[in-house]
């Protein structure tokens, strides 16, 4: 998975949204495939037009504030890239960090919301909401 800061640098280097759009699709191609057995209704993110699934593992080395590693997938190329971007921003962090991470900052640093259709932007917000809900459950 590509590091979030590297994504930010790459997005700043690309001049127009069409190049960024192609890059998002490319990032999605590099996303690890999710096993079909994990593509269940329980793992499906509600609020996305495309199908998006999200799972996670908890590293309990620090039970007070565990690290969470998310996995995700989608049936749409661009959305799969957006899943990869959200995983780079949120996965591998402590539960408390995930809950506090400002998604508007994540979105604005990459210029995502203003360059996506309203349906995709809403789906992206739904994905982040689900990530934060899962992190809040783990932190509780």
Domain ranges in the chain are: 4-139
Asked if pLDDT for residue 34 goes beyond 90, the answer is yes
Asked if pLDDT for residue 90 goes beyond 90, the answer is yes
Q: What is the token pair recorded at 107?
A: 């979105």
Q: Which residues contact 134 (CB under 8 A, 6 or more apart)?
A: 54, 56, 68, 70
CATH class name, domain 4-139? alpha beta
Asked if pLDDT for residue 89 goes beyond 90, the answer is yes
Question: Rounded to whole angstroms, what are the CA distances from 95 to 9, 49, 60, 73, 133?
Answer: 25, 27, 11, 21, 10
Q: Which are the catalytic amino acids?
A: 48
| pTM (whole model) above 0.85 | yes
Give 112 or 29, the one with higher predicted confidence.
29
Residue 131: per-residue pLDDT: 96
Asked if pLDDT for residue 112 goes beyond 80, the answer is no
Phi, psi of 124 (to 5 degrees): -65, -45
50-88: per-residue pLDDT in tens? 899 999 999 978 778 899 999 999 999 999 999 999 999
Residue 49: per-residue pLDDT: 81
Contact criterion met (CB below 8 Å) for 107 and 113: yes
């Amino acid at each position: 998975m590509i590091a979030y800061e590297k994504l930010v640098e790459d997005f700043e280097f690309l001049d127009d949204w069409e190049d960024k759009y192609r890059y998002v699709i490319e990032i999605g191609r590099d996303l690890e495939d999710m096993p079909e057995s994990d593509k269940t209704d329980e793992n499906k993110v509600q609020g996305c037009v495309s199908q998006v699934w999200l799972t996670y593992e908890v590293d309990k080395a620090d039970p007070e504030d565990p690290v969470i590693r998310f996995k995700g997938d989608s049936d749409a190329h661009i959305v799969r890239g957006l899943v990869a971007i959200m995983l780079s921003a949120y996965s591998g962090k402590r539960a408390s960090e995930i809950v506090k991470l400002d998604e508007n900052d994540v979105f604005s640093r990459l210029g995502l919301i203003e360059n996506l259709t309203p349906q995709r932007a809403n789906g992206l917000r739904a994905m982040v909401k689900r990530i934060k809900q899962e992190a809040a459950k783990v932190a509780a």
